[in-house]
């Protein structure tokens, strides 16, 4: 895929999934501690979410960093909005902000 194709692919993924996590590995088998931590936070909230394993495609791994202007993986998107990486997700979880965003995503999806 060309760089433009990757960006279109990422745009489509983010637009078509209410809760989407770009991570190393998948929700059943995270392959880094930061990805595992975000998966655990999302599972605790009990909302459906999809994952994209960036280790399977270098174009996607590099492209998502350009797409979000964020240098690290994992990256969480809710309702098409880039939320952030592991530290931001943990902070938002601790202060209740993540629960609000996830509830809004689920209510929009129903």
3-state secondary structure 70-91: CCCCCEEEECCEEEECHHHHHH
Predicted local confidence at residue 1, as pLDDT: 80
Residue 110 counted as domain residue: no
- Model pTM score: 0.94
How many domains does the chain divide into?
A: 1
Query: What's the rounded Cα separation, in Å, for the pair 69 and 79?
Result: 18
Looking at residue 78, its pLDDT comes to 98
Q: Residue 105 falls within a domain, yes or no?
A: no
pLDDT for 110 equals 47
Does any domain span residue 107? no
109 lies in some domain: no
Q: Indicate whether 88 belongs to any domain.
A: yes
Q: What is the CATH number of the domain that holds 80?
A: 3.40.30.10
Q: Which residues of 97-109 are buried (b: 16+ CB within 10 A; e: fewer)?
A: ebeebbeebbeee
- pLDDT at residue 108, as a whole number: 60
User: Does residue 86 sit within a domain?
Assistant: yes
Domain enclosing residue 92, as ranges: 3-100
For the chain, 110 residues long, the average pLDDT of each consecutive 10-residue run is 91 97 97 98 96 96 96 97 98 97 79
Asked whether 51 and 27 are in contact (CB, 8 A), the reply is yes
Q: What is the pLDDT of residue 38?
A: 98
Report yes or no: 85 and 75 within 8 Å, Cβ to Cβ: yes
- With respect to residue 106, please indicate whether it lies within any of the assigned structural domains: no
């Amino acid at each position: 895929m060309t760089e433009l194709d990757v960006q279109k692919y990422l745009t489509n993924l983010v637009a078509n999934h209410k809760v989407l996590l770009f991570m190393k590995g998948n929700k059943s088998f995270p392959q880094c501690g930061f990805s595992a931590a975000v998966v655990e936070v999302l599972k605790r909230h009990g909302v459906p979410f999809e994952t994209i394993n960036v280790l399977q495609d270098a174009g996607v791994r590099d492209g998502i960093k350009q797409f979000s202007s964020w240098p690290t993986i994992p990256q969480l998107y809710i309702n098409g909005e880039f939320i952030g990486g592991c530290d931001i997700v943990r902070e938002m979880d601790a202060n209740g902000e993540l629960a609000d965003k996830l509830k809004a995503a689920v209510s929009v999806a129903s």
